[in-house]
Amino acid sequence: MEKTDHNYEGVDSWKTIILLYNSALKEVGTKLEILNDEFQHVHQYNPIEHIKSRIKTPESIVKKLKKRGYESTIENMVRYVNDIAGIRIICSFTSDIYRIADMLAKQSDIRVYSIKDYIKNPKDSGYKSYHMIVSVPIFLSDRSVDTKVEIQIRTVAMDFWASLEHKINYKYEGVVPEHIKRELFECAEMVSDLDAKMMSLNEEIKEADDDVTDLSPFIVP
């Protein structure tokens, strides 16, 4: 393998680009499956509920470039559109989100470009999610190409909220009536409360399990 290409030099065709982004989705997907399996093996528990992945449609890529004032070229698309390959990881608990993000970021072949923590700093709308832009090396026959993937990590409840909000925004083409915005914001607060309560319940159950384990050596058969 001769070199690692960070700027996609020589990657000039749409087909090669899509091959790279699809491969990057497979790479990150496999990493996540391994982490989930290992977690199950060590802790008898799956932090990941499910994973969705997608390649952005050509229309959405062109729209994003246009919105930002760039011409629709392969070079601009690779340079300025960070979410051509996107993976969404849905977890049960907020603590799982940080655990998974940390485990991914520590992997030696993953390069983290940026992190947006909309859980610690929610958007004004109430949107919560943890976003990472990373790259993984894709090994082709004669070189490797670092390929970007956008990773969104959120709880089931955050995902439920984001899906509805997305649907509402789409329906009203971004001009959402104030009372709906207000109600959505209230729902976002309920989602945060629900996530916090579910996590503390889970912690309590775990502690109770640990106590039982601790007592086991003293139980006379």
DSSP class of 47: S
Query: Residue 162, interface with ligand 0O2 (CB under 6 A)?
Result: yes
Structure tokens, 219: 């139980």
b/e per residue, 46-71, with b = 16+ CB within 10 A? ebbeebebebbeeeebbebbeeeebe
- 93-122 binders of ligand 0O2 (CB under 6 A): 116
Query: Residue 123, interface with ligand 0O2 (CB under 6 A)?
Result: yes
Structure tokens, 124: 């004004």
Query: Residue 167, interface with ligand 0O2 (CB under 6 A)?
Result: no
Active site residue 33: no
Which of 105, 162, 154 has its CA nearest to residue 131?
154
Q: Which residue in the set 11, 35, 101, 131 belongs to the binding site for ligand 0O2 (CB under 6 A)?
A: 131
Of 66 and 206, which CB lies nearer to ligand 0O2 in the complex structure? 66
Of 82 and 155, which CB lies nearer to ligand 0O2 in the complex structure? 82
Kindly state the smallest distance separating residue 110's Cβ from ligand 0O2, in Å: 17
Given the residues 59, 150, 178, 207, the one annotated as active site: 150
The one-letter amino acid at 95: S
- 20-59 binders of ligand 0O2 (CB under 6 A): none
List C-alpha distances in Å: 103 to 7, 44, 206: 26, 18, 21
- 8 Å CB contact between 73 and 12: no
Q: Which residue in the set 8, 21, 127, 130 belongs to the binding site for ligand 0O2 (CB under 6 A)?
A: 127
Kindly state the smallest distance separating residue 31's Cβ from ligand 0O2, in Å: 20
Strand partners, 78: none
Say how far apart CA 38 and CA 125 lie, in whole Å. 36
Say how far apart CA 34 and CA 54 lie, in whole Å. 20
Stretch of 26-34, 102-110, 136-144, 162-170 lying at the interface with ligand 0O2 (CB under 6 A): 162-170
**Residues 48, 113, 142, 61, Cα dihedral to 10°:** 80
List C-alpha distances in Å: 35 to 40, 43, 69: 9, 12, 39
Stretch of 4-12, 71-79, 158-166, 174-182 lying at the interface with ligand 0O2 (CB under 6 A): 158-166
Q: Which residue in the set 52, 66, 166, 171 belongs to the binding site for ligand 0O2 (CB under 6 A)?
A: 166
* Other CB atoms within 10 Å distance of the CB of residue 92: 19
Of 39 and 157, which CB lies nearer to ligand 0O2 in the complex structure? 157
List contacts with ligand 0O2 (CB under 6 A). 60, 82-83, 116, 123, 125, 127, 131, 152, 162, 165-166
Catalytic residue positions, numbered: 150
